[in-house]
A and B are shown apart, each in its own frame.
Chain A
Amino acid sequence: DQQVKQNSPSLSVQEGRISILNCDYTNSMFDYFLWYKKYPAEGPTFLISISSIKDKNEDGRFTVFLNKSAKHLSLHIVPSQPGDSAVYFCAASYSGGSNYKLTFGKGTLLTVNP
């Protein structure tokens, strides 16, 4: 039972355009969501997070949108740069359960073409 789904294994975007990475979840108890970025041969690095009390969080070129009714979140990167090429993981947790169990999606490979 995959509770966090990233249905697009890959995405290709031109430099300067917007990249939109999507994530769906099935567990309505999830109330905290994070995005991690991973380069080859490196560990994932934290990118941005959002609590369920918000519907948007912005950090520079990165914005995460949360639609609770649709159980959907998205990461927007504007403008996209070649250095953004990486695998992006969506993750979710809920404060009512164990704080130590974060559920990850399978990742989306973003390629930004110069």
Chain B
Amino acid sequence: NAGVTQTPKFQVLKTGQSMTLQCAQDMNHNSMYWYRQDPGMGLRLIYYSASEGTTDKGEVPNGYNVSRLNKREFSLRLESAAPSQTSVYFCASSEYGQGVSPLHFGNGTRLTVT
């Protein structure tokens, strides 16, 4: 039982390049989320998927797109990376909504955009 698995662990991009962060969970959770963590800013929600087939914007969605591929997988895409997107990205899942059931986080992807 791996929980939430994120790939890659580290990535360096040049400004304007694109990439997709992958996330998969094996807990049969309904909801999945993408957060970013920046120094002094805590965790901020980028996008979430309440259930398979649905996605919605969070607090900081600009510059990102997501795909809920199936119940297990939720990917985050940066179409044209910018230095402001340098951050640590966490994928998370929960059985129900994050407000009432705890989040289970992956170990993060550390992204640097030069």
Contacts and interface: CB of A to CB of B under 8 A. Distances in A.
Q: Do A and B come from one complex?
A: yes
Interface of A: 32, 34, 36, 41-46, 49, 89, 93-95, 97-102, 104-107
Contacts of B92: 43
B43 A42 contact: no
A98 B108 CA distance: 25
B100 A44 contact: no
A64 B33 CA distance: 26
Interface of B: 4, 31, 33, 40-45, 48, 50, 56, 58-59, 90, 92, 96-100, 102-108
A100 B90 CA distance: 16
A99 B105 contact: no
Nearest to A107: B42
Nearest to B54: A100
